[in-house]
Chain A
Amino acid sequence: MNPKALTRAAAVTIAWIAVATIYSELSSSFKELLASIGGHHWIGKSVLSLVVFGMLYGAFAMFGNDRFSLRDTWWLIATVVLSGLSIVIFYVLHFSLSL
């Protein structure tokens, strides 16, 4: 198991969840595509997040090195904070502009 690849895969997957969440609100065709996976867009995002995590791990493990460092963790934490804030700001704006 390659801990660096796993940490990087987690960071990119979380960023992907934020991007997919925002984009699905802006594009009805993307939302329908997600819904086609499990009957609801949230199920589609849930399933795809695990698939993306697994695929990214495979890619990072294949092409990257395995020298794990605290720096990788800080990147992951920064990604979690920025992705979470992006989702919050998006829904606040989305709601405010729809009033």
Chain B
Amino acid sequence: MVNPLIFVHAILAEIGLFAFLWVLVELLNPTGARIERAKIAAVIGAVCLLTAWLAGGFYYVEVYGSFIKPVIKASEAKWVHSIVMEVKEHVFLFLPILALLIVALLHKFDQEIIKNKDARVSIILLAGLVFLLGFSIAGMGAIISSGYRFALESGLT
């Protein structure tokens, strides 16, 4: 059975990433109401990513290291841990920083975003970056799950 923590981690992270896509869409042609919605979306996104960080971190330290990692490392797919998981766990740390920055920029510039092109384009670029980087990391998560299933099917448990 899949550990519920990994489910919570994945769902919260994906909601968070779509919240930043929502921010991007709202700011493509900003109005007062769209900026207010973007601020709400960014806070939802940041809270989801921070919570996904905690859930994923707890799972990584308490479950993955003891039960999943040894199985993957003992299989032909040990590169899945040594490369993909190592990259995932460290590149993920960029996301909360970027998410907090976007929330802060939206609240700082607020309605000024309509006229301040640098602020608007910056937030759009950063929200797009969070979305793309986040889904690259989600893809790595899928590779790790596949690596674990491969290791189990290889009978190396």
Nearest opposing residue in chain B for A72, CB measure = B122
Q: Does A46 contact B (CB under 8 A)?
A: yes
Tell me whether B91 and A87 are in contact (CB under 8 A). Answer: yes
Known: A3-B105, A6-B105, A10-B101. A21 touches B61 (CB 8 A): no
Bound form: Cα–Cα A65–B109 in Å: 16
Residues of B within 8 A of A3 (CB): 104-105, 108-109, 119
Known: A17-B90, A53-B97, A88-B87. A73 touches B61 (CB 8 A): no
Grouping DSSP codes into helix (H, G, I), strand (E, B) and loop, the A interface class, with mixed when no group exceeds half, is helix
Residues of A within 8 A of B107 (CB): 1
A-B contacts, CB under 8 A, total:
88
Bound form: Cα–Cα A41–B29 in Å: 43
* A interface bracket (residues with beta carbon within 8 Å of B): 35 or more
Q: Does B135 contact A (CB under 8 A)?
A: no
Tell me whether A70 and B118 are in contact (CB under 8 A). Answer: yes
Chain B, 105-128, CB within 8 A of any chain A CB? 105, 107-109, 117-119, 121-122, 125-126
Tell me whether A95 and B83 are in contact (CB under 8 A). Answer: yes
Q: Does B93 contact A (CB under 8 A)?
A: yes
Bound form: Cα–Cα A72–B119 in Å: 10
Q: Does A43 contact B (CB under 8 A)?
A: yes
Tell me whether A87 and B122 are in contact (CB under 8 A). Answer: no
